[in-house]
Amino acid sequence: MSGEPLIELRDLRYTYLAGTPKASEALRGVSLRIGEGERVAIVGPTRSGKSTLVAALVHLLRLGRGQVFYRGEDIAGPGYDRAALRREIGVVFQQPETQIVEDVVGADVAFGPTAAGLSAEETRRRVRESLDAVGLPYERFRLRYVHALSGGQRRRVALAGVLAMRTPVLVLDEPAAGLDPRGRRELLGLLRRLLSGRSLTLIVCSASLEGAALLCDRAVVLDAGRVVMDGALREVLEEADRLAALDVTLPEAAALARELRPVFPGLPAGVLDGEELEAEILKRLGAA
Amino acid sequence: MIEAQNLSFSYRTGEEDAVHALRGVGLRLEPGEFVALIGHNGSGKSTLVRLLVAVLHPTGGELRVDGIPVRPGNELEVRRRISVVFQNPDDQLIMNRVADDVAFGPENLGLEREEIAARVGFALRALGLEEISEHLVEELSPGQKQRVAIAGALAMRPRFLVLDEPTSLLPAPVARRLILTLRELNRREGTGVIHVTHSMSEAALFDRVVVLDGGRVLMDGSPAQVFRRSDQLREAGLDVPLAVELAGRLRARGLPLGDGVLDAASLREALAGLRGSRAEACGP
């Protein structure tokens, strides 16, 4: 990464219910730099601090200690325009069905742009573009009731609502959790297509590297509120045992590679699909 | 025993937009079976689960639980034999403390105090929750919460536990441990388990796999028998475990792997055998 990072987290600390007997430390000093256009997976088990980190990033909670810089500016600083920050970082929360505010699909996607003061014409353009992009064609879906959609479709509506804000940074918190294999494949395929044409900076939070591995090229691993690994995705996957001990779901190929290591010592776990794993195995069998 | 004969169910029966969720399902589950029920969304899995606990009643054919037909009036008799656990434990946990939540069902059966204590103790032990029995439910991890929900269902001492996608919100290693706990319970106590899942690698851990597609039973057999039909599984929108797929690819390249590969462990064994024989052939 060269020059100034787009996002810099400096020693983030946060304790829920601080000062009470139920106090629990969610972040214990997280520092992280994310450059423009990076695709970063933030993974870790339940309560490792992922969601708290997202909340801190968009200033939904007041940090105990530490600072968040966006384009070099402290977002908690006096006079910082936090409304403008919302137009920079779009967040699709876990179970985004819950962030849908309108009954009708088109109206929900239009909510953000309208609230941001965009013209009716510009809003309509963005609603069309976003719904088309998430595979819910505008003409067919704009007047549909949200409650009559499937879970996977609702998730896409929520995603479209965030895309319509055209933020340069997109944060996805557990984008595929709870979807069936077909729904997950469709959503991840869609996200990949979406990303391929844009210079978005992407942050994916998940307890699973399965989907994140398809979208990201860097992985940051959190455990108990601290960064315990940070590197290129394949390098992090190589530490498959450590990830498994943290209850992080590995991509299926990496998980299988890990289980085959007793037969093929040194078999790389940094494989992203069955074909790569097959090639590695054939190489080793050929050498035997 | 659970017996379904030509079992059908339609939502909005008789109306133009009726949805035929089950279209003539035949199924027989003996006491103590350890079964995975799989299918993609819309295959009829959840409808079958709702029928099994008499939340819905058949619109055609018959469903019997220990000989008792699932129909209006028999709900309590059916539910005495089958307990259900849903996808999200937050929908099902009621009390604040773990032990109180597990006791909730037996208390509502009006059982004696000692019997309640015995059942709660049994269920907590079976799910490995003794050490956190006094904890607050809200402070638990999702995996622990799911265990509490299952313990609550188990405390009803059902013949069958029906688990409706209990692992879909859990990380894979946590899900796997949960299933191994259920296996243990099944072996020791003979409690029948019907586990609804999307995950083929989970299904590999069961004795029997029933695949639903379009409201019908598409396959019913051991994991090995089911995984052999990988093309059909893919057509039904399901994944084959990568270990099985990889074994198929390696076989296609002429490697004699046999067709017993179901999961990572059996693939590892098959590959180890192959490697050993090659090393021998080459000599020192």
Using an 8 Å CB-CB cutoff, list chain B residues near A288: 275, 278-279, 282
Q: Cβ separation of A278 and B249 shorter than 8 Å?
A: yes
- Give me the helix-helix angle, B264-282 and A252-260, nearest 10°: 50
Using an 8 Å CB-CB cutoff, list chain B residues near A267: none
Give the count of beta carbons closer than 10 Å to the beta carbon of residue B50. Answer: 17
Look-up of token digits 């996808």? B87
pLDDT of A2: 53
In tens, the pLDDT along A234-259 reads: 999 999 999 999 989 999 999 999 99
At residue A85, does pLDDT exceed 70? Answer: yes
Alpha carbons B44 and B23: distance in angstroms, whole number? 9
Alpha carbons B33 and B191: distance in angstroms, whole number? 8
Q: Cβ separation of A260 and B239 shorter than 8 Å?
A: no
Give the DSSP letter of residue A7: E
**Strand pairing category for A226-232 and A218-223:** antiparallel
Two structure tokens written together for A152: 């996977």
Whether residue B29 contacts residue B160, with contact meaning beta carbons closer than 8 Å, is answered with yes
> Does residue A167 come out as left (phi exceeding 0), alpha (psi in the -120 to 50 range) or beta?
beta
Nearest to A45 among B171, B238, B245 (CB): B171
Alpha carbons B60 and B69: distance in angstroms, whole number? 12
Give the count of beta carbons closer than 10 Å to the beta carbon of residue B183. Answer: 15
Q: Cβ separation of A182 and B40 shorter than 8 Å?
A: yes
In tens, the pLDDT along B7-40 reads: 999 988 777 777 889 999 999 999 999 999 998 8
Alpha carbons A117 and B219: distance in angstroms, whole number? 55
Q: Which amino acid is at B239?
A: D
Q: Specify the 3-state DSSP secondary structure of B18.
A: coil
Alpha carbons A246 and B256: distance in angstroms, whole number? 36
Alpha carbons A269 and A237: distance in angstroms, whole number? 6
Closest to A241 (Cα-Cα) out of A250, A232, A253: A250
Nearest to A263 among B174, B237, B272 (CB): B272
pLDDT of A12: 94
> pLDDT-based confidence at A3, cuts 50/70/90?
low
At residue A288, does pLDDT exceed 50? Answer: no
Q: Chain B residue closest to A258 (CA)?
A: B264
Q: Is the dihedral of CA A185, A189, A192, A194 positive or negative?
A: negative
Compute the average pLDDT of residues A255-281. 92
> pLDDT-based confidence at A116, cuts 50/70/90?
confident
Alpha carbons A281 and B68: distance in angstroms, whole number? 54
Neighbouring C-alpha atoms within 13 Å toward the C-beta of A120 = 0
Whether residue A114 contacts residue A123, with contact meaning beta carbons closer than 8 Å, is answered with yes
At residue A14, does pLDDT exceed 50? Answer: yes
- The residues facing A104 across adjacent strands are A145
pLDDT of B280: 62
A residues 161-190 closer than 8 Å to B (CB): 177-178, 180-183
Compute the average pLDDT of residues A122-147. 92
Alpha carbons A82 and B12: distance in angstroms, whole number? 50
Q: Cβ separation of A180 and B41 shorter than 8 Å?
A: yes
Q: Chain B residue closest to A250 (CA)?
A: B172
> pLDDT-based confidence at A94, cuts 50/70/90?
confident
pLDDT of B279: 64
- Summary mean pLDDT of chain A: 90
Q: Exposed/middle/buried for B240, CB within 10 Å: 0-12, 13-18, 19+?
A: buried
H/E stretch holding A8: strand A7-16
Alpha carbons B201 and B239: distance in angstroms, whole number? 9
Q: Chain A residue closest to B239 (CA)?
A: A181
Alpha carbons B3 and B14: distance in angstroms, whole number? 26
Q: Chain B residue closest to A263 (CA)?
A: B272
Largest CA distance in chain B: 76
Two structure tokens written together for A230: 């940070």
Q: A78 Cβ partners below 8 Å, 6+ apart?
A: none
Q: Cβ separation of B142 and A288 shorter than 8 Å?
A: no
Low-confidence ranges of chain B (pLDDT < 70): 278-284
Q: Chain B residue closest to A254 (CA)?
A: B242
Query: DSSP string spanning B137-178?
Result: GGGS-HHHHHHHHHHHHHTT--SEEEEESTTTTS-HHHHHHH
Q: Side by side, which strands form the sheet with A89-92?
A: A89-92, A169-173, A201-206, A39-43, A218-223, A226-232
Task: Give the Å distances, CA to CA, from B271 to A65, A261, B267, B277.
Answer: 52, 11, 6, 10
Compute the average pLDDT of residues A209-234. 94
Two structure tokens written together for A131: 């719904």
In tens, the pLDDT along A165-213 reads: 999 999 999 888 777 777 788 888 888 888 887 889 999 999 899 889 9
Q: Cβ separation of A181 and B198 shorter than 8 Å?
A: yes
Distance from the Cα of residue B234 to its chain's centroid: 20
Alpha carbons A212 and A233: distance in angstroms, whole number? 9
| Best residue in B246, B267, B278 for a mutation probing chain A (most A CBs within 10 Å) | B246
Give the DSSP letter of residue A145: B
Look-up of token digits 């600083």? A77
Q: Cβ separation of A249 and B171 shorter than 8 Å?
A: yes
